Amino acid sequence: MNSRSKETPKSTQMKTQKTRPEIVECVPNFSEGRRPEVIETIVGAIRDVPGVTVLDYSSDPDHNRMVVTFIGNKETVLDGAFAGVAKAVELIDMEKHQGGHPRIGAADVVPFIPISGVEMKDCVEIAKRLGAMIADKLSVPVYLYGEAAQDPARRDLANVRKGQYEGLKVAITDPDRTPDFGPARMHPSAGATAVGARGPLVAYNINLGTRDVRVAKEIVKAVRAATGGFTTVKAMAVELEEAGQVQVSMNLTDCFKTPIHRVFEAVKREAMARGVLVTKSEVIGLLPVQALVDLARFYIQAHDLTVENVLEARLLEGQ
Amino acid sequence: MNSRSKETPKSTQMKTQKTRPEIVECVPNFSEGRRPEVIETIVGAIRDVPGVTVLDYSSDPDHNRMVVTFIGNKETVLDGAFAGVAKAVELIDMEKHQGGHPRIGAADVVPFIPISGVEMKDCVEIAKRLGAMIADKLSVPVYLYGEAAQDPARRDLANVRKGQYEGLKVAITDPDRTPDFGPARMHPSAGATAVGARGPLVAYNINLGTRDVRVAKEIVKAVRAATGGFTTVKAMAVELEEAGQVQVSMNLTDCFKTPIHRVFEAVKREAMARGVLVTKSEVIGLLPVQALVDLARFYIQAHDLTVENVLEARLLEGQ
């Protein structure tokens, strides 16, 4: 019924004459997840910048945190990021902030990611420009992290966030905590901000059918890099009060090196060994279609499947 | 680490002001899978038509058959299809044709599929126009099938192909086999052609680690509509001489009603019950990204995952 050639090439790729569009992704995280009007105002400030497309936003009251995903070119993405940070600095008071996720400021972290027609060094450049603007115009100290880090220790965001907002208020005067931009002094209500560049990261949560957070903590230890797990996985345990469940909350920092399905299967198996089932998993934000292709190759053994088999990806090429 | 709001909407969709591009897909099947020069010439004839984009082509010597996947607007897709059919009629001699797949002509079947900015009735219209052109200019009789069928029995392509080329040579003069266009007489070397319109179909093969074709035949019976299987699945067993394996070769006529993973799991389970493993599965041609999303929702229990989570799909919206 269906033919696959053994000799001739499987598919032809039509290369277009057009240059690839210039797309930078930005995924700022702000420390607000409980007041809908504040969430909407921050998103609106970003969306209103010409040349910016907001692709997604989500928030969580347990974490008291929100994430916005938007794209633009090298100039507009910078303007969009600054607009969001400025609004967060205006509306969020860290002295009153409580939530389940580590944070250092109202605008906690602002990463830039190269998507199309740009390279990592372009995103590092944008991060540095934004860092200077935030310090100069908003009086918020800035730490460069990830690929934009000037100090190798700051390549890891966890080092930048050590002690969180409350600890950094004291530690900011230590020589190894000197900000990259701005004074060695927290903004009185907005704290500090980390700005950086990185590759595409998948924010991925797996919920477990138990109230016992110790199960989640054991599984976190099993999968995270710091304790013998996968090199690209960061993880933490979260209690989901509303749902009466617990969660393994992860950042997969390279979903092509360590695919989502491998992490899922490891967590699922660890849970089952403890008499617990996965109730659901969730991807926060955007996934590259390659990650879904990798998942299909694994589960339905479609060893020859590629992005070229996906209609929408081929439509993008043709434009 | 990652937030999902419980109260606020998960994501915002940025609707663009642009109209959706007019895209019709065409997936003609021709009865050539052994002579590379003929295959390339037919593909080239289609590719050379202005406004046509060839997305994929593949061929198989066991089936002695080739499939081309291309897109265009309502006018260019018609021109592309005619160019391919005319070249196949010129180069393929059905009197000499042998192969593992049912066929009625050099150009065996030409379906049109609405992808974007067009409706099924537009594709039915294109099918009728192409049918008239093939009969008038090439003297090849044409049967309208699928959504374009004038006779309800011809909605099913299997009825149009009954007896294949050899049987139709005789049966074409029967009252119920009268072509929709052209004389009740086969073209002496090119036979007849079926032209129609349908929804997106997934051509899907699953290879089994056994030489015993009876295993494949039993599994075909288990999954195909005609013998108590899934309503949307057509299947046949194929022997893969080169690989020393057998294959369940399928058309999934509605991968949203009956998803690929459900069919895979059924085939795999039937095989295991017979002591056989799946070695690989393959998708021929193009898959909508929604099918991959459905697969991920099943395997990693990502119940909230949608096309909106896929970066490339969101990039298409923004253009």
Q: In this structure, what DSSP letter does residue B80 have?
A: H
For B156, the token pair is 């099913």
pLDDT score at A15: 37
Query: Residues B97, B101, B187, B261: which is the catalytic one?
Result: B101
Q: Determine which of B1, B67, B71, B236 to mutate to test the interface with A (most A C-beta atoms within 10 Å).
A: B1
Q: Give the pLDDT band of residue B227 (cuts 50, 70, 90).
A: very high
Q: What is the mean pLDDT of residues A3-21?
A: 41
Beta bridge partners of A24: A72, A114
Count the helix, strand and coil residues of chain B and give each as a percent rounded to the nearest 5: 40, 25, 40
Domain range for residue A166?
23-197
pLDDT score at A8: 31
Question: Which residues neighbour B277 within 8 Å (Cβ) at sequence distance 6 or greater?
Answer: B208, B209, B268, B271
Is B62 within a domain? yes
pLDDT score at A115: 82
pLDDT in tens, B131-173: 999 999 999 999 999 999 999 999 999 999 999 999 999 999 9
CA distance A301 to A39: 42
Is A3 within a domain? no
Residue B118 main-chain phi, psi, to 5 deg = -140, 160
Closest-CA residue of chain A to B51: A318
For A78-95, b/e burial (b = at least 16 CB within 10 A) is bbbbbbbbbbbbebbebe
For residues B43 and A114, which has the higher predicted lDDT (pLDDT)?
B43
Is A8 within a domain? no
The alpha-carbon radius of gyration of chain A (Å, integer) is 21
- Are residues B279 and B171 part of one domain? no
Closest-CA residue of chain A to B12: A56
Q: Determine which of A311, A314, A317, A319 to mutate to test the interface with B (most B C-beta atoms within 10 Å).
A: A311
Nearest to A312 among B1, B2, B313 (CB): B313
CA distance B36 to B63: 14
Q: In this structure, what DSSP letter does residue B34 have?
A: S
- Are residues A184 and A109 part of one domain? yes
Is A305 within a domain? no
Record: contact A4-B58, CB cut-off 8 A: yes
- Are residues B242 and B94 part of one domain? no
Last residue of a domain, one of B157, B177, B197: B197
Record: contact B55-A285, CB cut-off 8 A: no
pTM: 0.72
pLDDT score at B56: 87
- Are residues A245 and A181 part of one domain? no
Q: Determine which of A2, A97, A295 to mutate to test the interface with B (most B C-beta atoms within 10 Å).
A: A2
Please count the residue pairs, one from chain A and one from chain B, whose beta carbons lie less than 8 angstroms apart.
263
Q: Give the pLDDT band of residue A72 (cuts 50, 70, 90).
A: very high
Record: contact A63-B8, CB cut-off 8 A: no
Nearest to B288 among A2, A43, A311 (CB): A311
Q: How far is CA B17 from CA A44, A312, B235, in A?
A: 19, 20, 43
- Are residues B212 and B178 part of one domain? no
* Cβ-defined contacts of A216-221 (< 8 Å, 24+): A216/A246, A216/A247, A216/A248, A218/A270, A218/A274, A219/A248, A219/A267, A219/A270, A219/A271, A220/A248
pLDDT in tens, A29-39: 999 999 999 99
- Are residues A79 and A30 part of one domain? yes
Is A308 within a domain? no
Is A226 within a domain? yes
For B144, the token pair is 């309208």
How many distinct structural domains can be found in chain A? 2
pLDDT in tens, B56-77: 899 999 889 999 999 999 999 9
Record: contact A3-B54, CB cut-off 8 A: no
Residues of B within 8 A of A252 (CB-CB) are: none
- Are residues A206 and A190 part of one domain? no
pLDDT score at A317: 67
- Are residues B243 and B170 part of one domain? no
- Are residues B150 and B33 part of one domain? yes
Q: What is the mean pLDDT of residues A204-219?
A: 98
Is ipTM over 0.85? no
Nearest to B3 among A66, A261, A278 (CB): A66
Beta strand pairing status for B107-116 and B193-197? parallel
Record: contact B293-A292, CB cut-off 8 A: yes
- Are residues A133 and A162 part of one domain? yes
CA distance A81 to A68: 10
Residue B181 main-chain phi, psi, to 5 deg = -135, 145
Last residue of a domain, one of A179, A197, A215: A197
Nearest to A296 among B39, B284, B292 (CB): B292
Last residue of a domain, one of A175, A197, A219: A197
CATH of the domain at B228: 3.30.70.670
Is B95 within a domain? yes
Is A154 within a domain? yes
- Are residues B173 and B211 part of one domain? no
Residues of B within 8 A of A238 (CB-CB) are: 1
pLDDT in tens, B175-190: 999 999 999 999 999 9
- Are residues B281 and B148 part of one domain? no
Residues of A marked active site are found at 101
Under a CB-based contact definition with an 8 Å cutoff, are residues B248 and B208 in contact? yes
Nearest to B58 among A10, A33, A251 (CB): A10
Distance from the Cα of A170 to chain B's closest Cα (Å) equals 24
CATH of the domain at A132: 3.30.990.10
